[in-house]
Structure 1
């Protein structure tokens, strides 16, 4: 027992290099998901979605997540949903402070969007984060958005983009939830709200079963297009550490 005070600091010293990321280290983390849905009866519907993300971490303060997703869906054997979404959100962090940039592209057959481009930046704050990747963070970005609709109309607006991100893990379960609220700065009744929640059950170091709930509401859309859309899908996910 008299050696215990000397042994503990030695163990901590040996363990520390494996936990800390070196200032000149570059890490790449990848995650991918395949999901689908089928329903029959009142409405015959099939839906397929895939999403991918790659995060580049440089040193102790810089990261650059790049995400992309594709959704394809039919109702009564007719194409209703075909959507592409790409986002790059490089950020700088120090302690709990974050500063984000964003560049985004979107295309949606369901909402009549031929092309949508976003560019912006803003601060964020992590109320909680730990070495297991669990996090509760809030950010607010100012973005400039250009949308080109089917039929030839277009709209350019400035938005405030508030994001609440929650990542939690317990044993083999992981919850990842992102909530977005994006009002038009010139007219707050014109806004977009998005909720994306994924619950994963991990059955190996890299593979998991996943259930995803995705909801989008947009107050201003083309005539005849729905203002909201909800998808619940089940699938498999792959990730690297």
Structure 2
């Protein structure tokens, strides 16, 4: 019986010993400093991860603007001049973004008017900083080059930011819109179109060289032969405080054109841009 009692006392002492040891360690300054260090490390790690996420997500200024002037001239057997002016303006809130991009193009060939084109649009994006966002669009244009007296379109759709970083952005969008076109020398038409756009922006060498690519494909929903597509490349090199040297290549196709006009237009331009908004 004494042996059993002695064994019970030894076992109880063995079980309670860590508890008293832990209580003693807990009251020591070294233990408190260790706990404080662990808590501070956890806080620092959380703040660091938050800052890294903020750095990887591009911050969009509330008001963005950009002015672009480009073109080219050629003298010789063919005297050719082409000038283009464009303004890009966007107003951003946390949930809604408004954008407009009016542009005017003027061109002559052998002193004859070739281009006198005007385009203006208004785009509204809802939840534009989310992965998936909604947008509405409207546009008005006329074009001497393509014999368009007036074109009006309006619609809306969904967009998806596939990748959204400071130096690399990739997005795709799809919309449905109604379009009506009045030609100078052709039967007018109205149609519903589907529009798919792929947009890619990226920068190299710490933003010393900036690239923008986008492609549109816009078939009519009721006439398979009535399609439009556009592919564009822009390369910009910063010069000084928002001023950039700019090169652009634009390839545009439209199946319905007036007589004596080609379906495809390929244009290259050189010029400058200035503002706090990256190229569109």
* TM-score higher than 0.5: yes
User: Per-residue CA shift, 1:188-229, capped at 9, x if unaligned?
Assistant: 221011122211001223111000111211011112222121
Residues matched between the structures, number? 235
Work out the CA distance in 2 between the residues paired with 1:11 and 1:204. 34
Bigger CA radius of gyration: 2
Q: 1:6 to 1:158 in 2, by over 3 A?
A: closer
Work out the CA distance in 1 between the residues paired with 2:184 and 2:267. 23
5 Å-filtered alignment, 1:188-203, equals 188-203=224-239
Q: 1:21 to 1:151 in 2, by over 3 A?
A: closer
Q: SS of 2:259's equivalent?
A: coil
User: Per-residue CA shift, 1:146-204, capped at 9, x if unaligned?
Assistant: 11111474211110111111111122111112211111111122101112221100122
Work out the CA distance in 1 between the residues paired with 2:116 and 2:258. 16
Q: 1:21 to 1:192 in 2, by over 3 A?
A: closer
- The match for 1:63 is 97
Indicate which of 148, 151, 176 corresponds to 2:212. 176
- The match for 1:102 is 137
Work out the CA distance in 2 between the residues paired with 1:26 and 1:136. 19
- The match for 2:83 is 48
Distance apart, 1:7 and its partner CA: 8.6
RMSD of aligned C-alpha atoms?
2.7
5 Å-filtered alignment, 1:17-166, equals 27-59=62-94, 61-93=95-127, 95-130=130-165, 132=166, 134-151=168-185, 153-166=187-200
Distance apart, 1:41 and its partner CA: 3.0
Work out the CA distance in 1 between the residues paired with 2:244 and 2:143. 28
**Residue 243 of structure 2 is aligned to residue 207 of structure 1:** yes
TM-score, with length taken from structure 1: 0.87
Q: 1:102 to 1:210 in 2, by over 3 A?
A: same
Q: 1:96 to 1:48 in 2, by over 3 A?
A: same
Q: SS of 2:101's equivalent?
A: strand
Q: SS of 1:189's equivalent?
A: coil
Q: SS of 2:140's equivalent?
A: strand
Q: SS of 1:5's equivalent?
A: helix
**Between structures 1 and 2, the one with greater strand share:** 1
Work out the CA distance in 1 between the residues paired with 2:46 and 2:226. 59
Q: 1:182 to 1:6 in 2, by over 3 A?
A: closer
Work out the CA distance in 2 between the residues paired with 1:207 and 1:5. 43
**Between structures 1 and 2, the one with greater helix share:** 2
Q: Is contact 2:58–2:164 with CA below 8 Å preserved after alignment?
A: no
Structure 1 runs not aligned, ≥5 long: none
TM-score, with length taken from structure 2: 0.76
